[in-house]
Amino acid sequence: MQERQPTRHNALNALRLLLAALVIVTHTDTVLGRADFRVAGDTLGGWAVAGFFAISGFLVAGSRGRTSLADYLRRRALRIMPGYWACCLVIAFGLAPLLAALTAQRWDLGSALGYVLRNGALVQVQPGIEGTLTSAAYPGTWNLSAWTLIYEFTAYVVLGLLLPRTTGRWALPGAAALLVGATILSAPRFKAVVPYEVFTFGRLGTFFFAGAVLYVLGRRVAWTPWLAALAVLALGALASTSRLTWFGALPLAYLLLWLGRVLPVRVGSVNDISYGVYLYGFPVQQCLATFWPQAPPALFVPAVLACVLPLAWLSWRFVERPAMRWRGRAPAPAALPAR
């Protein structure tokens, strides 16, 4: 068994906040109409999302190991859905009409209602609101970041259904099977064969289930600087052979979780605003880019963060944290293995 250590005693929330900021950095090129900067086959934001999934897989596996399936799914829904729904409402009835008024565009009430209702199940059925963002460099989309949420929630469900307990004798074979299955689905040769959604779930699922595998392994994993350095070398080798997006899940998950253990940073340990930063980053970028289309990225990113951080704090304080209280008495939080 692992020794439990609350997230306030590690840097995982700080890392997730950093990853959310990296998504904003990547989307700066998108909203300003510039070419994306890519590293080893993906953008910085793409790798940040992969890191999110790896950390999430570790933490969620801990939750699955301590709760029934019904309780587990209820907890997962309460963590992801209320904040997302509130963001949809803020976009539809706050940012969109405000931007329309300031730019002499037409805001359509029916389309705004449709934006909230059609997108409520985490799938971006209606990415835009009629009459808004028509002249944007990336027109017609209010929240580009939200496309990942349905894949994350699907990973929650798959883990919950196929890995009944993450502390029993079959936990490691089960978690390993999920990782292998996701890796097979994300094989480059399958990209043109399987549906796009299946391939994408496989790619993101490799990182999620890699985190779950490391949770299940627990004390059997040695968390040392030498293995962290080996993970960095493995990531570099995979990047040089264009296989990082396929086989990089375990070394990336190990590196992030090791950093979570050793970094002394505790930003976000009490107020976890990383999800809010991720949700509100792109909508704020779209608004700011409307009035500052030629902004230098070095100034644009801090300006976006200055607007996003208060929104993320409000989301945490008045939506996410109150919603989590409906989960009932929480089990001991998933944590990094003891030193």
- pLDDT tens digits, 111-161: 999 999 999 999 999 999 999 999 899 999 999 999 999 999 999 999 999
Is residue 289 within 8 Å of residue 295, measured between CB atoms? yes
Strand-strand pairing, 38-39 and 42-43: antiparallel
Is residue 210 within 8 Å of residue 249, measured between CB atoms? yes
Query: What residue ranges of the chain have pLDDT lower than 70?
Result: 1-8, 268, 327-339
Residue 171 confidence (pLDDT):
86
Residue 23 confidence (pLDDT):
96
Is residue 141 within 8 Å of residue 128, measured between CB atoms? yes
Pick from 155, 145, 125, 154: which is nearest to 57 by CA?
155
Rounded Cα distance, 274 and 309, in Å: 9
Separation in Å, CA 22 to CA 28, 68, 308:
10, 35, 13
- Six-digit token string for 157: 């469900």
- Six-digit token string for 252: 């990336």
Helix (H, G, I), strand (E, B) or coil at 38: strand
Helix (H, G, I), strand (E, B) or coil at 314: helix
Residue 8 confidence (pLDDT):
60
Tell me if the pTM is above 0.85. Answer: yes
Helix (H, G, I), strand (E, B) or coil at 293: coil
- Six-digit token string for 16: 């997730």
- Dihedral sign, CA of 7, 11, 14, 15? negative
- 167 CB-near residues (< 8 Å, 6+ apart): 1, 65, 66, 216
- Reported in sequence order, the residue ranges of the chain that DSSP labels E, i.e. its strands, are 38-39, 42-43
- Six-digit token string for 30: 């998108």
DSSP β-bridge partners for residue 43: 38
Residue 321 confidence (pLDDT):
93
Angle (CA) 257-258-263 rounded to 5° is 105
Report phi then psi at 38, rounded to 5.
Answer: -115, 145
- Secondary structure element (H or E) that encloses residue 237, with its range: helix 225-240
